[in-house]
Amino acid sequence: MTQPIVSELIDLLQLERLEVNLFRGASRDIGTKYVFGGQVLGQALSAAQQTVPRERVVHSLHGYFLRAGDINAPIIYQVEVSRDGKSFSTRRVSAIQHGQLIFGLAASFQEPEPGVEHQLSMPDVPKPEDLEAPGEIAADRLEQVPAKLQRWLTRKGPFEFRHVYPRDELKPPKRPPHQHVWLKLVDRIGDDADLHRAMLAYCSDFHLIGTTTFPHGISYLQDNVMMASLDHAMWFHRPFRIDEWLLYSCDSPSAQGARGLARGSLYTRDGVLVASTAQEGLIRVVEDGAH
């Protein structure tokens, strides 16, 4: 029996078909002020996947977050069939809420074929079973953040995360802009590869842009820090399972102009590189008394 929190995520990503190339997705409140960016990303990919031949697999996607999503309203996903070639298919997806475009996605799909192969090696880090699972945050510390964020910090989500070098987000130290996080779904699911990819897209929005804050000793939990995802890119390289441990290795090469850039590589525990990500986000530190 699949855990309810996992079943809820599966339902969230499968979408309701309204018409040809038109879908509706529910929104979920997971403790963020607006719709979680990974939800929109995963749902948009799911919509696109349902319009291409089954044998074609997504290899890249590029999305832009245009407006904050309303947690209390569904999202309509309209898929445009840009091209179906001999070996590639391209789709554009518009996510619409309250009559406005909140997110746009372009995705490319390919029929699998052989070719040259290489990959960068996985960082040498401890295995997930050698790391402690995150503990509960003490009540007196939780009181330091707004009630909405308290729910975010205490919610039992569908993914388990184990940080190689944990960071105290309530009192963040300054340190180099890179981190390694093991992640996996908390329960076993079926073999539908499209669902595994949509779930990885959803999950890839965790931890990535936060890496850009590390050198500055700031955190999204601080009331004078404003952060928002601006875009998200992802490349799928090799097969994987989201219900088995993956290492998310993230770094941030630059932050400037109130924006930070982060990159990520996702490896199986055996060191196989299965996906890469990149994201730019807005990072504003507001002066005291200016907000």
User: Which DSSP symbol is given to 128?
Assistant: G
In a domain, 274, yes or no: yes
Domain span holding position 277 = 4-111+134-285
| Contact by Cβ (8 Å): 189, 159 | no
% helix / strand / coil in the chain, to the nearest 5? 20, 35, 45
Annotated catalytic residue 229: yes
Number of compact structural domains in the chain? 1
> Catalytic residue among 108, 229, 249, 265, which?
229
Question: Does residue 83 sit in helix, strand or coil?
Answer: strand
Q: Are strands 22-25 and 16-19 parallel, antiparallel or unpaired?
A: antiparallel
Among the options 43, 205, 249, 265, which is catalytic? 205
In a domain, 128, yes or no: no
Global pTM reads: 0.93
The pLDDT of residue 39 is above 50: yes
Specify if 126 maps to a domain.
Answer: no
Considering the domain boundaries, does residue 127 fall inside one?
Answer: no
The alpha-carbon radius of gyration of the chain (Å, integer) is 19
pLDDT in tens, 159-186: 999 999 999 888 899 999 999 999 999 9
- Averaged over 132-153, what is the pLDDT? 68
Please check whether residue 290 lies inside any domain of the structure.
no
More confident residue, 222 or 40: 40
Run of H or E residues at 262: strand 259-268
Residue 127: its pLDDT value, please?
97
120 in any annotated domain: no
Lowest mean pLDDT among 54-68, 193-207, 218-232: 218-232
Residue 117 domain-assigned (yes or no) = no
Is 121 one of the catalytic residues? no
- CATH number for the domain harbouring residue 63: 2.40.160.210
Asked if the structure places residue 291 within a domain, the reply is no
